[in-house]
Amino acid sequence: MPKPYPEEFRRDVVAVARKGQAPLKQVAKDFGISESCLANWLRKADIEDGNRPGVTQAESEELRELRKRLKLVEQENEILRRAAAFFARELPPK
């Protein structure tokens, strides 16, 4: 699903809202977005800037990639475990 607003637009809106020259309701109205949308953008920007605890976009992407890699390694491990069990049954005793 494509993002409805470009990242540059989001950054500009957040910068204007952070200046505090107008209430958030007015900033949202001026840019044609909802107040809740602006609040979400501000929250995410605070997390990215380190002003608020939370998972940044980069950390989220890294976590997603690590989960994919873990799943692959677990699948590979399962295949090796089954192969070892198969060959242990097939080999004659010494």
Secondary structure (DSSP) of 56-79: -HHHHHHHHHHHHHHHHHHHHHHH
Q: 16-22 long-range contacts, Cβ below 8 Å, gap at least 24?
A: 17/41, 17/42, 18/42, 18/45
pTM exceeds 0.75, yes or no: no
The residue ranges of every structural domain in the chain are 1-54, 56-94
Q: Which fold has domain 1-54?
A: Arc Repressor Mutant, subunit A (1.10.10)
Going 17 to 22 to 25 to 26, the CA torsion angle's sign is negative
pLDDT in tens, the chain (94 residues): 556 899 999 999 999 999 989 999 999 999 999 999 999 999 999 999 989 999 999 999 999 999 999 999 999 999 999 999 998 887 766 6
> What is the distance in angstroms between the CA of the first residue and the CA of the last residue of the chain?
61
Q: Are 24 and 35 in contact (CB under 8 A)?
A: yes
